[in-house]
Amino acid sequence: MTAPAFLRSKPARRFLRNPGTVLGTALAVVLVVIALLAPVLAGDPLLQNLGHRLQGPSAQHWFGTDQLGRDVWSRVVWGSRISLRIGFVVVAVSLAVGGAVGMAAGMLGGFWDELLMRVTDIFLAFPALILAMAISAALGPSLGNVMIAVAAVSWPNYARLLRAQVLAVRTLDYVEASRALGAARFRQAFLHVLPNTLTPLLVQASFDIGSAILTAAGLGFIGFGAQPPTPEWGAMVSETRNFINEAPWASSAPALAILVTVLAFNLLGDGLRDVLDPRGRTRR
């Protein structure tokens, strides 16, 4: 049996010892399962029933109903698919773009390094929500454009991270050795640099899934996000915010869903850092 052996390994034990990490992992897994099982767990998120507007939580409607009499539970459950997809896609795109830019800057050095990093600075200096707002306004509000907008503000972190890693790793002996042996630059990059940078990337990615979901929901809140009646969490909070008196559940349920999801990925990020980077244990 390999599983118990794995669980007895040092990093795994460290992982399991931290209740926060376990909680984060469990939450993340549950969220993914909920998203996958949405058709089973929930009803039609778009079905309106004006006769049953703004009803409180009941056996029939676990989280009550919203201003169009739609079942809030169903909307939150289906919304998890959207938010998780945004989180994963944004991080994947940021990783690809930022990673490529950072690695190119680190490997090429000199002028190209300067240029690429200054371009990265430009994106870092751009006020995130305004950039996202502008992109969303330019391309028209849609889920795909939300992802582009959020990725546009999150890739610079990866560029910086990867460049720093490349520079650090390049000076290591075995890379020097392989260079002396005449290995091509890009082979070097893939063979040596990439594996060594996986650890901080994984940690960063985990945190970024959370923050991407948060930013996307913020865009949804100000109306630059998913199209109605899509059950996107930020848009749901926005649409129901004026009913905070009559139906607090309608805005609280999606807001709490955002909170729990972001929390889960932050905890996961914390845990991953502890496990994968023991020296940095106390850093945050």
Partner 1 sequence: MARFRIAWVVLVSLAAGLLTFGSAQSAQQQTLVIGGDWTDLITLDPGVAYEFSSTPIDDNIYQRLVQFDGTDLSKVVPGLASSWDIASTADGGTTITFHLKDAKFSTGRPVTAQDVVWSFDRVIQINGPSAFLFTDVAGMKVGSTKALDDKTVQLTLPKGVNPQIILNMLTFNIGGVMDATEVQKHIDGNDYGQKWLNDHSAGSGPYMLDRWDRGSQVVLTANPEYPNPPSIKRVILRYMQESNAQRAAITSGEIDVAYNFTPDAFNQAATDPNLKTIKTDSFRMQYLGMNSGPGAPFADNRVRDAVRYAIDQQGIINDLLGGLGRPMQTIIPYGLMGADTTQYYTYDLEKAKQLMAEAGKSGGMTVEFLVATGACGGGVPCADLAAKIQSDLAKIGITTNIKQTTSAQLYTIYRQQAAQLVLAEWSPDYPDPNGNASPLADYNAKSLAWRNVWNDAEGTKLATEAATSTDPAQRKALYAQLTKYVAQNGPYAILYQPYVPIVTTAKVQGFARSAQGDVDYAAISKLP
Partner 2 sequence: MLSFLLRRLGYLIFVVWGVGFAAFFISHIVPADPAAAALGSNARPAQIEAYRHKYGLDLPAYQQYLRYMVDLFRGDLGNSLRTQRPILSDLKDFFPATFELTLGAMVFAVLFGLPFGVIAALYQDRPLDLIVRTLALVGGATPVYWLAILALELFHSRLGWLPGPGELNPYLIEPHRITGMMVVDAALAGEWQVFWSALRHLIMPAAVLGAFSTALLARMVRSAMLEVLSQDYVRTARAKGLAGRVVTFKHALRNAALPVLTVMGSLLGSLLTGAVLTETIFSWPGIGSYATSSAIGLDFPAVMGVTLVAGLAYSLINLLVDVLYAVFDPRITYA
List the structure tokens of 251. 């805005």
The stretch among 98-106, 123-131, 180-188, 233-241 that binds partner 1 (CB under 8 A) is 233-241
Residue 241's closest CA among 214, 220, 261? 220
Binding to partner 1 (CB under 8 A): which residues in 50-69? 50-51, 53-54, 67-68
Do residues 159 and 120 touch, judged by C-beta distance below 8 A?
yes
Do residues 268 and 256 touch, judged by C-beta distance below 8 A?
no
Do residues 146 and 86 touch, judged by C-beta distance below 8 A?
yes
Using the rule CB under 8 A, is 11 a contact of partner 1? Answer: no
Using the rule CB under 8 A, is 125 a contact of partner 2? Answer: yes
Choose the one of partner 2, partner 1, none that binds residue 124, judging by a C-beta under 5 to 8 angstroms depending on kind: partner 2
Using the rule CB under 8 A, is 71 a contact of partner 1? Answer: no
Residue 7: CB atoms within 10 Å: 11
The stretch among 93-101, 102-110, 155-163, 228-236 that binds partner 1 (CB under 8 A) is 228-236
Using the rule CB under 8 A, is 46 a contact of partner 1? Answer: yes
Residue 224's closest CA among 129, 131, 137? 137
The stretch among 36-44, 72-80, 97-105, 263-271 that binds partner 2 (CB under 8 A) is 263-271
H runs (alpha helix) in the chain: 3-8, 10-17, 19-36, 38-41, 72-108, 110-125, 128-139, 143-170, 173-180, 185-188, 194-221, 233-240, 248-276
Using the rule CB under 8 A, is 126 a contact of partner 2? Answer: yes
Query: Residues 210, 225, 231, 271: which binds partner 2 (CB under 8 A)?
Result: 210
The stretch among 29-37, 78-86, 235-243, 273-281 that binds partner 1 (CB under 8 A) is 235-243
Do residues 91 and 209 touch, judged by C-beta distance below 8 A?
yes
Binding positions for partner 2, rule: CB under 8 A: 20, 118-119, 121-131, 133-135, 137-138, 140, 210, 214, 217-218, 221-222, 234, 237-238, 241, 244-245, 251-252, 255, 258-260, 262-263, 266-267, 282-284
